[in-house]
Amino acid sequence: MIKKNGLPLLSILLLFLLLSNCQPTPHLNDGILKGQVLVPVGIQSKSFNGETLPYAAVHVVDPITSHVIAIAITDGEGYYQVLVPAGGPYLLEVVKKRIRLGQLTCIVEAGTEYDLGTVDCLSTAAALIVQVMLEEGALLSEIDCAIIMADPYFSDVSSAVCSIIEYEGDPTTSIQVTKTIQDFLHPPAPSPTPSPPPIPTYTVTFDENGGDTTADPITMKKKNGQSLGILPTPPTKANYTFTSWNTESDGSGTEFTGSTIITADITVYAQWLAVDYTLALSVAPTDSGTTTGEGIYHVSDEFQIIATANTGFTFVNWTDDDNSNAIVSTDATHDFTMPAANVKYTANFVATYALIMAVDPIGSGMVSDNTNTGSYTEGTVLNISAAPKAGYEFIKWSTPSAGTFEDDTSSSTTFTMPAEASTVTANFGCTTGYIYNGDEYDNYWTFGYIEGSGYYSKDNNYLYLTAGDYGAFAERSYVTDYLIDLTCINSIVIDWSNTGDDYDSNMSYLVISSSSKHGNYDTDADARLEKNKNFDRSTDTLNVSSLSGSYYIRVHARDNNSFQSGDNSRISVYSIELRE
């Protein structure tokens, strides 16, 4: 219960400090205090605008000494007026039966009248709080009732005081009021907030995943639910670019970033992208050929680059554009390994020109390009040769192109290729002499017409052929394997014999034909020498002076439907000579 130095009624009622409400009124003697006392009406009336308290005792108490220094009685409307010595502030105690009200006055000056306004349960609550504060050693000069009443918990004290007064109780003896004031002045310590469970810390490990260096740092720690924010310096790997971190080494997991929320220990793996380099291929001169193999590759990729010459060109070499056009390879198909750099190669081609070998007249001989590639670059020196056939002799080389011969009158010489296609012609002229003489020139002769039974042979240094078929026709012939120019030939002399039967059906022929190589004795004959029956070795001449151009020369043995048994026609040829 609230008491002050054993005072009989209320130890001391601390009244509401309303210095701003003290309205001084001039007075000749001591100061005058006046006001009105109100009490609340009914328990439901918490507005505290209640009834007046008439005929109640008003005691003015010195809070320092606890002495009553003045007494007054309220009138019928609850008003009072009391003369007090200058000083204060004082405590007003209003008592009527069990009702106790209080108020704290302002400082009183002599000759001044102060209207203290209303004494009610609110002012009483404030006064009771001040009383306890003084009991606990507070100085009156340090107490501000305005601050007390502005406290949000002041309503707890005023409600308790007003409730007691409404039931004509004494708030100074109320245990509830005493506890409420103590709680107001000394709020119980709040229940301690339970400490939250510790937040776990997790480790993120950064695996270089085949890199040449490691991340810096390799591990980082964060509490559960946090993100790293800034990631470590990534590792490096030769010829690869770091792209990201992933929860799986093969990149099939989830990308890990600086904003990824961490909920457990985790290892993330560096992801790498191979650095690509470009191989560019070109040709020189333009349109001279094509290339394959150009593209974008990883370092150490192995593949082939291929140069293909267009018609009229031949491959020379590969050169490196970025290395002073140094020769890389002379192989059109080149094995290549991609370095850690972009590369530019050029496939170099050179124009080639066709070489055509010819003879004039046609069939007069043979020519050879001994270098034997057919197409050549400008300046290539070629070995060429010419060989006449029987009845011809080499005269000279000729060409309509700008090419040159080392010696155009030699059957074996060199030709220097110009920058154009060239036809090189070996010119032959007709010549006298043997086209068969024993085994000499026998390779000029081949089998010709065949009918019925017969026989061929080049043995014993002569051409031997027979024909015979009882009661039927039979024929065999030898013929030159090529045409022979007879333009400058006047006669053909044959040295031969026929050892067959001595009948008219035994026929021997020397035939000249410009068109038929394999005809019989009478087919397309431009000139012919014939003999019947057998005859000893003899020399016969065939006049060909009227012929001009190239011809086949044929020798025929024919059995013209003989009824004799055996080979009825048997011819041996010892020589054939061309004469002017």
Task: Give the model's pLDDT for residue 48.
Answer: 36
- Top pLDDT among 540 and 440 is at 540
Residue 216: count other Cβ atoms within 10 Å of its Cβ: 10
Q: 147 by DSSP, 3-state: which?
A: helix
Q: What is the pLDDT of residues 251-288, one digit of tens each?
A: 999 999 999 999 999 999 999 998 899 999 999 999 99
Are 408 and 397 a contacting pair, CB within 8 Å?
A: yes
Task: Give the model's pLDDT for residue 117.
Answer: 84
Task: Give the model's pLDDT for residue 28.
Answer: 60
User: What CATH fold (topology level) applies to the domain 434-579?
Assistant: Jelly Rolls (2.60.120)
The closest alpha carbon to 274, from 238, 244, 233, 303, belongs to 238
Task: Give the model's pLDDT for residue 131.
Answer: 82
Are 279 and 293 a contacting pair, CB within 8 Å?
A: yes
**Percent of the chain at pLDDT above 70?**
92
- Return the H-helix or E-strand segment holding 182: helix 175-185
259 burial class (0-12, 13-18, 19+ CB within 10 angstroms)?
exposed
Q: What is the pLDDT of residues 105-140, one digit of tens each?
A: 888 888 888 888 888 888 888 888 888 888 888 887
Domain spans of the chain, in order of start: 19-185, 201-274, 352-432, 434-579
Tell me, yes or no, if the two domains 19-185 and 201-274 fold the same way: yes
For residues 553 and 393, what is the distance between their CA atoms, to the nearest angstrom?
18
For residues 357 and 406, what is the distance between their CA atoms, to the nearest angstrom?
16
Which CATH architecture fits 201-274? Answer: Sandwich (2.60)
**Phi, psi (5° rounding) for residue 84?**
-135, 155
How distant is the alpha carbon of residue 402 from its chain centre? 56
Residue position matching structure tokens 């210095």: 19
Task: Give the model's pLDDT for residue 401.
Answer: 94
The closest alpha carbon to 98, from 144, 52, 36, 166, belongs to 166
Task: Give the model's pLDDT for residue 217.
Answer: 96
The closest alpha carbon to 531, from 561, 557, 493, 562, belongs to 557
Task: Name the pairing type of β-strands 266-274 and 201-207.
Answer: parallel
How many CA atoms are closer than 13 Å to the CA of 454, on its beta-carbon side? 29
Task: Name the pairing type of β-strands 422-430 and 343-360.
Answer: parallel
The closest alpha carbon to 78, from 126, 131, 30, 41, belongs to 41
Confidence of residue 166 (pLDDT cuts 50, 70, 90): confident
538 burial class (0-12, 13-18, 19+ CB within 10 angstroms)?
exposed
Q: 285 by DSSP, 3-state: which?
A: coil
Q: What is the pLDDT of residues 480-501, one digit of tens each?
A: 998 888 888 999 999 999 999 8
pTM above 0.85, yes or no: no
Q: Which of 140-144, 200-204, 385-389 has the lowest mean pLDDT?
A: 140-144
Residue position matching structure tokens 């022929």: 509
Task: Give the model's pLDDT for residue 20.
Answer: 34
Task: Give the model's pLDDT for residue 429.
Answer: 84
For residues 578 and 545, what is the distance between their CA atoms, to the nearest angstrom?
11
Residue position matching structure tokens 């405590």: 91
Residues 6+ apart with CB under 8 A from 553: 435, 479, 480, 484, 492, 510, 511, 512, 576
**Phi, psi (5° rounding) for residue 116?**
-85, 0
Task: Give the model's pLDDT for residue 565.
Answer: 60
**Arithmetic mean of pLDDT, 17-24:** 38
**Percent of the chain at pLDDT above 90?**
54
Residue position matching structure tokens 């530019």: 344
Q: Does domain 19-185 have CATH number 1.10.8.350?
A: no
Are 262 and 294 a contacting pair, CB within 8 Å?
A: no
Task: Give the model's pLDDT for residue 219.
Answer: 97
- Return the H-helix or E-strand segment holding 160: helix 154-166
Q: What is the pLDDT of residues 180-194, one digit of tens each?
A: 888 888 888 777 778
pLDDT at 432 over 90: no
**Arithmetic mean of pLDDT, 453-482:** 89
For residues 555 and 520, what is the distance between their CA atoms, to the nearest angstrom?
10
pLDDT at 7 over 70: no
